[in-house]
Every structure is written in structure tokens, then in C-alpha cells.
């Protein structure tokens, strides 16, 4: 299950995503991400930050996504 929240309705390029898995290892968890899509999107990737403290090999302790 995913939910999208736009804190500022005038900034559609900035939003927060909440993911609540129905199955798998993370079932029952609630994970929040902050997403900012730059004006140069397509040539520049979106900036994604995990706001929920989690141990994952692709997420740093401060929430930056490393892909």
C-alpha cells in the first residue's frame, strides 16, 4: 500500500511517499520517503531520502538512497 502526500499543493515536484508493505520481510512496517523531482528531470534523477530509520544496504544512516 502506498500513499502520496503533497505538503505544498503549489509544488508538485516535491512530495512524500508512505509505503506500508502487505507482505514480505517488511510486512507491518511503515516507511516514509521524501522525493524531489528536479526541473531537469530526465537528465537528472529525482532526489529521494528515506525519513524512516531503517537498516538497508542501499540506505545510509541519514536516509540518503545509494543506488
Write out pLDDT tens, residues 11-67. Answer: 999 999 999 999 888 888 999 999 999 999 999 999 999 999 988 899 999 999 987
Q: Which of 2, 24, 50, 66 is catalytic?
A: 66
Say what the pLDDT of residue 7 is. 94
66: annotated active-site residue:
yes
Instruction: Write the CATH number of the domain with boundaries 2-50.
Output: 3.10.110.10
**Alpha-carbon distance values, 37 to 14, 25, 31, 32, 59 (Å):** 6, 29, 19, 16, 19
DSSP structure class, residue 48? E
Say what the pLDDT of residue 39 is. 93
Question: Where do the structural domains in the chain lie, given as residue ranges?
Answer: 2-50
Name the burial class of residue 22, with classes exposed (0-12), middle (13-18) and buried (19+) by CB atoms within 10 angstroms of its CB: exposed
Say what the pLDDT of residue 15 is. 97
Say what the pLDDT of residue 25 is. 85
Which of 39, 59, 38 lies closest to 49 in space, CA to CA? 59
Amino acid at each position: 500500500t502506498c500513499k502520496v502526500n503533497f505538503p505544498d499543493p503549489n509544488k508538485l515536484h516535491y512530495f512524500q511517499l508512505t509505503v506500508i508493505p502487505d507482505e514480505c520481510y517488511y510486512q507491518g512496517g511503515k516507511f516514509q520517503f521524501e522525493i524531489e523531482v528536479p526541473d531537469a528531470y530526465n537528465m537528472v534523477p529525482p532526489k529521494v531520502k528515506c525519513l524512516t530509520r531503517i537498516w538497508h544496504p542501499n540506505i545510509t544512516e541519514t536516509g540518503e538512497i545509494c543506488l
